[in-house]
Amino acid sequence: MIKSSHFYFARHGQTDANIQAVMCGGEWDIELNDTGIAQARAATSLLANAQHGIKSICSSPMKRALKTAHILNEVLSVPVAVVDELREWEVGDWSRKPYHQLPNFFRGDGDPPNGESRSEFDARIARALSLSLQSEDPVLIVSHGCVWHVITKLLNIPGGLIENVSIHKVGHDGAQAEKRIWQSEKMLTTAV
């Protein structure tokens, strides 16, 4: 499935839905707020000063992720590919509901009514990861919190929660594909 020995993952910058603590799934294409733009800009200075060797970016098509990707690319100057499968989980009736009114989706409590089932979402993200990692590596994937949660589950690495514009390096030990041990290391976090 994955030819790369490592890749990077960044969650999009802050949106008003993040501040309001409401579920913002794939059916709500919300923009970054001013803080989210500032977070992405702060990350560019951190990326510019680091030797990550990122050669391509794969981004969700959603406005909040794509804007973050384009801001980060101001210092990387690499090709950006939009991967539709990287969009956020379609959460149906859970959309725009306060988190405290929803089941704990990180523990696997139920599927969203009128949304994408967990198994459908997991399969889509497995495809998205495979597609993204066919890009020139190392690749930076810019996407969403629930996408990161599924990637950590697929690769059996800890850390299902991710902050806005937190960048993680994900790599494996080089063993055969079926025996690879993947690890995640937080590289950059912006505090804006």
| Residues tagged active-site | 12, 88
Q: By the 8 A CB rule, do 166 and 185 touch?
A: no
Q: Report how far Cα 36 is from the mean position of its chain's Cα atoms.
A: 15
Q: What residues contact 70, with CB distance under 8 A and at least 6 apart? A: 80
Q: What residues contact 11, with CB distance under 8 A and at least 6 apart? A: 142, 143, 144, 145, 148, 162, 163, 164, 165, 166
Instruction: Give the other-Cβ count within 10 Å of 109's Cβ.
Output: 10
